[in-house]
Amino acid sequence: MAKIVGAITTSHVPAIGRAIDKGLQDDPYWKPFFDGFPPVRDWLAKVRPSVAVVVYNDHGLNFFLDKMPTFAVGAAPEYRNADEGWGIPTLPPFKGDPALSWHLIESLVADEFDVVTCQEMLVDHAFTLPMALLWPDQRWPVRTIPVCVNTVQAPLPSASRCYRLGEAIGRAIESWDTEERVVVIGTGGLSHQLDGTRAGHINKEFDRKFMDSLVDDPKWATQYSTLDLVELVGTQGIELLMWLVARGALTGKVDKLHSNYHIPISNTASGLMLLENRD
């Protein structure tokens, strides 16, 4: 059966792409952020996953406010990105895994998650930048499956439902009758708000508590409604829902192998965690 080797959670601020393009990894402003990734890359080189399930939120490149699914799963043979207006260069295409995608989709529907199935799909910076951070040579040694979660337009899925989605993804992957090694990547956050009277809002105390909870008490954040979470972490900080999906996919106990937390990255509290799935 397929095996989930672990989960990686990381921020996806568009400015990261510009910093990569301009070679600013050692710039004093960016260095504390980029210095968090070598241990994760070393782990990936050691465990050698063959598939990455990337849980992210679309920012209008593939879905817009007129059609916003709660959950969508890619089932395409290839995924590409495009210019979103941030000045971020497009990256090489990402190979898909239609067979595993369809297995995942069918399993999720059987678990009563009504997902939108995308046989063609553009992926935006929330997908591409974490991939570029993890594999900076951009040669993509993994096939990919995008899982998109609505964090843009109300009503949003609850933290509890997102965690249960992650559990369903974990069951689906580990019922796949292959020897694939799968890493789950959850992107977004942490606390930040880009607009309104609370623009610039960051809640370091909550971010730290949330990151700690993902190790031994992963359902801790599910006590909060989406409105509670927006109040705590800001309008865009609700992207922590993708972290909950990724953590929910890990079956059983986990070991925290690495973490990094840095403020600010473009008015965003940037987080990074590497959680290894125990046998």
Q: CA–CA distance from 190 to each of 123, 132, 178, 197, 273 (Å)?
A: 20, 19, 34, 19, 12
Instruction: Give the pLDDT confidence score for residue 85 in this predicted structure.
Output: 80
What is the mean pLDDT of the segment spanning 239-255? 95
Structure tokens, 87: 């000045």
pLDDT above 90 (res 202): no
Distance, CA of 75 to CA of 145 (rounded, Å): 7
pLDDT of residue 133: 97
Among 272, 169, 161, smallest CA distance to 226 is for 161
CA 201 from chain centre, in angstroms, equals 21
Per-residue pLDDT, 210: 97
Give the domain range for residue 248: 3-277
> What are the helix (H) ranges across 8-91?
14-21, 31-34, 38-47
Mean pLDDT across 140-154: 96
What is the Cα–Cα distance from 249 to 6, expressed in whole angstroms? 9
Mean pLDDT of 59-86: 92
Alpha helices in the chain (DSSP H): 14-21, 31-34, 38-47, 98-110, 125-134, 159-174, 204-216, 226-233, 240-248
State yes or no: pLDDT of 194 exceeds 80: no
Mean pLDDT of the chain, nearest integer:
94
Amino acid present at 6: G
pLDDT of residue 84: 82
* CATH number of domain containing 86: 3.40.830.10
User: Is the model's pLDDT at 54 over the cut of 80?
Assistant: yes
pLDDT bin (cut points 50, 70, 90) of residue 61 is: confident
For residue 184, pLDDT beyond 90:
yes
| Predicted structure pTM score | 0.96
Instruction: Classify residue 135 by burial, with Cβ atoms within 10 Å: 0-12, 13-18, 19+.
Output: middle
Q: Is the pLDDT of residue 279 over 90?
A: no
Which pLDDT does position 264 carry in this prediction? 84
Q: 82 near 61, Cβ under 8 Å?
A: yes
Annotated active-site residue 125? The verdict is: yes
Tell how far CA 110 is from the center of its chain.
23
Of the pLDDT bands very low, low, confident and very high (cuts 50, 70, 90), residue 193 is confident
In the set 125, 201, 258, 262, the catalytic residue is 125
User: In the annotation, is 262 catalytic?
Assistant: no
Please, are residues 52 and 187 in contact by the beta-carbon 8 Å criterion?
no
| Predicted confidence (pLDDT) at residue 200 exceeds the cutoff of 80 | no
Residue 60's pLDDT is what?
Answer: 87
Average pLDDT over residues 90-116: 97
For 226-270, the three-class secondary structure string (H helix, E strand, C coil) is: HHHHHHHHCCHHHHHHHHHHHHHCCCCCEEEEEEEEECCCCCCCE
The domain total for the chain is 1
Structure tokens at 114: 């009504």
Name the catalytic one among 12, 103, 192, 201: 192
Mean pLDDT for the stretch of residues 189-199? 84
